[in-house]
Chains A and B, each alone.
Chain A
């Protein structure tokens, strides 16, 4: 794809012509162009995931089992949920350090509200809604301080980190642990669908990608975005179906071994939010404005975008996903303890987004990156656990993967800058 800088209305290339041929050759050329311009997409992380899975398959005895697979999903979903919010915050070029303890607040509120005999016991679903709303409000307050007062988000959310940690300590210090008995709350992480339910969900999920692409093609007839490389489309559609049905097949196999397992509801919740937030980021004015503010806040402001409003909304989203993720973590162990949230939740969530290709410099990245990153981190830590590797080494290896991913991102940015003539 070279575009000559030759002046003149005559003999110039037609505007709409993207000079890439269709078919397999076009797929190859597009891949090479993306590689050259530092637009690596999801390729490195999928490659990394395959390598990690194969590595553990041959080294760990208990890793490649269906039961462990379902456990892996349950372990990764909480991180993925937090990482979704991190994606939006990072897209703005901001950071939210409070999400770990905001998740803790969500868990504590839910646990308090479901407590039998406490005098304020509520229906589990209502408790979840209230907890998520509270966490979103905490995010909104922090976002307002960032947007309207101009305090750097690092400092605001560091303050939030300490304050929320203090609130959780005060709340749990006397009791130590609150047991969660409400089945709705516990379902968020441990409900397993029946085999048939699993298959139906797999069918629905594998249809979403091709249908959305086909709708996009239809809605944008005759434009470049409607041009889809058919081979790439087929590969991705098939890939999505294989992953969906494969996941359900393994989960159903696990249900045979242990009847409480099966396709976990937590996984379905994560896919639901993945689709919802991808839609928000890519198909709506709000999402477009988030990318614009992250790319060039001054340009966004001059274009009439209400930049403070975008900032507040993004921190609200971050708070809401943190609360939801915290509830999922609590439901995993059916309780909230003083040790909640698990020590590295915050860093795992940020690492997941960054490993998934979301740039720390703002404006670059996608929601799917959080999902893939969370799966990679979850797989890595689960596999190392089954190998009985010490916690120290788990941290070291996670850190190295994070370092590698950020290095790749930095190199990609430089490549992209260089490809701009």
Chain B
């Protein structure tokens, strides 16, 4: 790899996106490094989903730059994003309930020879991918996804996303529908992705989850970046304040880092 450790894997500069007369994103900066879990938080309507969709290629942004591995890239559709190694796990997971785990992992990219499926190869790789991610609660990878728990489904969706040599995985509210034990299971998986050198972006409403997994936290408010926090040196309270009252960190185009107010107490 030619890029240095400090070059972010993905860097967004001054992204602006309007829907008609509504400015959904205004001059947004965002970055995530390889091996880092970056949380993207903000209230409803802050622009989290819009920003993610710009990266995933589902929305076209109006202006701004996207740099991937230090080079400027243009993402015009989901296929461009996938080619760069960007995979998004949406909230609805996009799994086929009637197919088993292996079949879902290879959906649309089945290993075949003259259109005849090579089940053995697919099953072997699936088993080792899941093992590599320490997803061990699935008793049989040949059981239909319909019979899996919410946490297991989420794990399968994540494993499916990372299976294709992806470099950046974006998780949209991965724990929204899960119970306590299953949330822990998924958060552990998210941390493991970071440890394995992937860049991870996690969108969540749940600050507890974020402080459990994220290395850094980007806060959006009303379509603007209002702060980038190091998890180690900040508190949940500071993040909540940024979410609710944060002022834009960029005024008249001069980038600066959000200086948090003097803090009381340690990190969350």
Chain A residues in contact with chain B, CB under 8 A?
Answer: 1-7, 9, 12-19, 37, 219-226, 283-286, 288-289, 291-292, 294-296, 298-300, 302-305, 363-364, 416-417, 419-421
A19 to B142 alpha-carbon distance, docked (Å): 12
CB atoms of B181 and A416 under 8 A apart: no
Interface membership of B43, Cβ < 8 A:
no
- With A6-B137, A288-B117 in contact, is A300–B108 under 8 Å at CB? yes
CB atoms of A18 and B142 under 8 A apart: yes
Chain B residues in contact with chain A, CB under 8 A?
Answer: 78-79, 92-99, 103, 107-110, 112, 115-120, 123-124, 127, 130-131, 134, 136-142, 144, 146-149, 151-152, 181-182, 184-185, 188
**B144 contacts which chain A residues (CB < 8 A)?**
416
If over half of A's interface residues share one DSSP class (helix, strand or loop), that class is named, otherwise mixed; here it is loop
**B93 contacts which chain A residues (CB < 8 A)?**
299
**B78 contacts which chain A residues (CB < 8 A)?**
302
A14 to B128 alpha-carbon distance, docked (Å): 11
Q: Which of A9, A286, A294, A299 has the most CB of B within 10 A?
A: A299
A222 to B93 alpha-carbon distance, docked (Å): 30
CB atoms of B98 and A302 under 8 A apart: no
**B79 contacts which chain A residues (CB < 8 A)?**
304
CB atoms of A291 and B136 under 8 A apart: no
CB atoms of A7 and B98 under 8 A apart: no
**B136 contacts which chain A residues (CB < 8 A)?**
9, 12-15
Among A4, A221, A295, A417, point to the contact of B96 (Cβ < 8 A): A295
- With A292-B99, A302-B94 in contact, is A7–B181 under 8 Å at CB? yes
A219 to B117 alpha-carbon distance, docked (Å): 11
CB atoms of B131 and A15 under 8 A apart: yes
- With A12-B136, A224-B142, A421-B149 in contact, is A298–B98 under 8 Å at CB? no
Q: Which of B136, B138, B151 has the most CB of A within 10 A?
A: B136
**A225 contacts which chain B residues (CB < 8 A)?**
119-120, 123, 142
**A302 contacts which chain B residues (CB < 8 A)?**
78, 94
Name the CB-closest residue of A to B188.
Answer: A7
A335 to B139 alpha-carbon distance, docked (Å): 58
**B95 contacts which chain A residues (CB < 8 A)?**
296, 299
**A292 contacts which chain B residues (CB < 8 A)?**
96, 99, 103, 107-108
Name the CB-closest residue of A to B185.
Answer: A7
CB atoms of A299 and B117 under 8 A apart: no
CB atoms of B182 and A5 under 8 A apart: yes
A140 to B139 alpha-carbon distance, docked (Å): 42
